[in-house]
């Protein structure tokens, strides 16, 4: 780990006064700084705070707000709840994959511009199928509407 990263981690450690009661806050700060929760960072905090890494991972895996892999600049979140599924979410996902040239099991484009994610019901079933592009909610999404939205976000 380079000195700059270590200094950043020390700053987070001091700011949060890392202890077992504020693991969430620590992880939020880490994610804000690095974009995702890296394994080596968890181990650094584990050693520094004397809290087992498993406690950090317990929180990371429990809350969907935390990510263990680098994510793209734009996050395309397709709702895969029952209603959206019935109304065509699988077709939307297939279109996104095709348009972004995502290989099997690949969720982030090579240029780090897009990450495809799935969620369960986002509570907007009346406008299913629903897709979130970053924070923007798109309703009654069709494959062509999806492609248009992706185009707007391409650099």
* Closer residue to ligand FES (CB): 72 or 81: 81
Q: How far is the CB of 126 from ligand FES (least distance, A)?
A: 8
Contact (Cβ atoms closer than 8 angstroms) between residue 129 and residue 119: no
Contact (Cβ atoms closer than 8 angstroms) between residue 61 and residue 44: no
Q: How far is the CB of 143 from ligand FES (least distance, A)?
A: 17
* Closer residue to ligand FES (CB): 31 or 149: 149
Cis peptide bond upstream of 87, omega within 30: no
Q: How far is the CB of 139 from ligand FES (least distance, A)?
A: 9
Residues 79-138 that bind ligand FES (CB under 6 A): 79, 81-84, 121-125, 128, 130
Q: Tell the residue number behind the tokens 């890392």, with chain if given.
A: 18
Q: Residues near 79 by Cβ (< 8 Å), separated by ≥ 6?
A: 89, 118, 119, 120, 121, 122, 124, 128, 129, 130, 131, 132
Check binding of 59 to ligand FES (CB under 6 A): no
* Closer residue to ligand FES (CB): 51 or 121: 121
What number of chain residues touch ligand FES (CB under 6 A)?
Answer: 12
- Closest-CA residue to 74 (of 32, 105, 131, 115): 115
* Closer residue to ligand FES (CB): 23 or 78: 78
Residues that bind ligand FES (CB under 6 A): 79, 81-84, 121-125, 128, 130
């Amino acid at each position: 780990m380079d000195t700059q990263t270590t200094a950043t981690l020390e700053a987070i450690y001091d700011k949060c006064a890392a202890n077992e009661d504020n693991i969430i806050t620590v992880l939020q700060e880490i994610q804000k700084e690095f974009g995702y929760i890296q394994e080596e960072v968890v181990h650094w905090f584990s050693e520094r705070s004397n809290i087992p890494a498993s406690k950090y991972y317990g929180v990371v895996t429990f809350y969907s707000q935390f990510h263990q892999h680098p994510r793209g600049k734009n996050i395309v979140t397709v709702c895969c709840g029952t209603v959206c599924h019935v109304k065509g979410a699988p077709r939307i996902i297939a279109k996104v994959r095709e348009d972004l040239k995502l290989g099997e099991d690949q969720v982030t484009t090579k240029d780090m511009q897009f990450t495809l994610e799935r969620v369960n019901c986002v509570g907007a079933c009346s406008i299913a199928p629903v897709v979130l592009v970053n924070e923007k909610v798109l309703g009654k999404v069709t494959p062509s509407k999806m492609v248009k939205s992706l185009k707007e976000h391409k650099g």
